[in-house]
Amino acid sequence: MSPERQQWVNALTGQQLGGYILDGYLGGGGFGMVFAAHHATTGAEVAVKVLDPSGANDANTVADFDNEGVLLKKLVRRSHVINWHETSTATVPVTLGVGATVATVQLPFKYHVIARASGVLDEITSDPSLLNEMDWLERLSHWRGVILGVHQMHLSTVAHRDLKAENCLLMAGLKNSVEIRLTDLGRSKDFSTPPRYVVEEYLQGRGDKRHAAPECLLLLAGSTEADFRLADLYGIGSVLAELATGQSMTALALNWQDVIQQAMIDFRAGIQIDPGVLRPRYNRAFEEVARHVPPVIQKEVTDLLGQLCDPVAADRLPKAFGRRPLKTDGLQWLLRRADIAHRRLEAHIKQKQMNGRKTAG
């Protein structure tokens, strides 16, 4: 944590924002600090995401934070997206500085109150010793949760635009299950509303470059509903790659810095690269991911990855009898395919167990 961030965390811990008391720092991203909190009256445990005051002077950062609040509210009844309680601003006294320069000032803080998760998927995927312990049925269940979250968002005309294990919260679900809920909607986009920015602003997409779809790296991303949906499909595939290897699909397939450097030069020169030229590199990465997958579902997983993470965005959608799926069906087609893989693996494991019992008998 940077010293500056640490100072804000120290200043805010124990403070009350609206009806919520901030208990401790959970973590944070570029512009948000997430605190464990409880309701001062009911004691309900929540998480409070506070806009880092260092970013409060940046109009884009503030717009992203406000946008997140609006979209969380819009998605409040959707499953597999983080539950939102409220968005507000509270002015509280904070003590800043060290030694003789310490001062207490009243400062306004924007915040969202959301459900508190029990963990983040990334805590597992970024630690190979934990990831290797996770069985593939569980991985596929988590992945299905991600698909379901994006499906729900798309049905509400919202694209996530920054899908990665780091933005997948683990929540306690029914019957001791663990459920995925998507979070961090700062970069999300309601595609039922017109673009907020000029076309050039969308060329590189939003979100972490290490997870970005190739059209974003090549500065070819678009600003239409279809563009946002297709970039999310890439993100879903990339989370599957993370569940398999710990690394995003982009990190596995590309030296993404080189691709961006080249793209900037091409962009300046007015050259448009066909993203299809990246296919050989992606195919190598798909092969690499496949080596981590149980043989019985290797083909399904490789085929799915090949489709979802196709460098040519338009080829990420399936075709059945020459037709694309209807938008109103959301990602039903993908959920079905994830379910097939899950069931095949489940059946295989059961069969193995039965064979084992027979042998033992």
Residues at the contact surface with another protein, assessed by CB under 8 A = 1, 27, 29-30, 123, 125-129, 131-133, 200-201, 203-204, 208-210, 219, 245-247, 251-252, 255-258, 260-271, 273-274, 276-277, 279-281, 283-284, 287-288, 291-292
Least distance CB 262 / another protein (angstroms) = 5
Closer Cβ to another protein, 210 or 348, answer by number: 210
Least distance CB 223 / another protein (angstroms) = 13
Closer Cβ to another protein, 185 or 241, answer by number: 241
CA pair distance 245, 143, nearest whole angstrom: 14
CB count in 10 Å sphere of residue 33: 24
Closer Cβ to another protein, 138 or 329, answer by number: 138
Residue 207 DSSP code: S
Contact 82, 169 (CB under 8 A): yes
Contact 112, 230 (CB under 8 A): no
3-state SS assignment for residue 20: strand
| Nearest Cα to Cα of residue 51 among 94, 114, 112 | 112
Least distance CB 170 / another protein (angstroms) = 16
Closer Cβ to another protein, 199 or 354, answer by number: 199
Least distance CB 243 / another protein (angstroms) = 12
Query: 27: which strand partners?
Result: 34
Q: Any alpha helices (H) in the chain, and if so which ranges?
A: 3-12, 59-74, 121-125, 128-131, 136-155, 199-202, 214-217, 225-245, 249-253, 256-269, 279-290, 295-308, 332-360
Find the farthest-apart pair of alpha carbons in the chain and give their distance in angstroms, rounded. 79
Closer Cβ to another protein, 53 or 275, answer by number: 275
Closer Cβ to another protein, 270 or 361, answer by number: 270
CA pair distance 337, 320, nearest whole angstrom: 13
Least distance CB 45 / another protein (angstroms) = 23
CA pair distance 275, 266, nearest whole angstrom: 13
Least distance CB 46 / another protein (angstroms) = 23
Closer Cβ to another protein, 126 or 332, answer by number: 126
Least distance CB 37 / another protein (angstroms) = 21
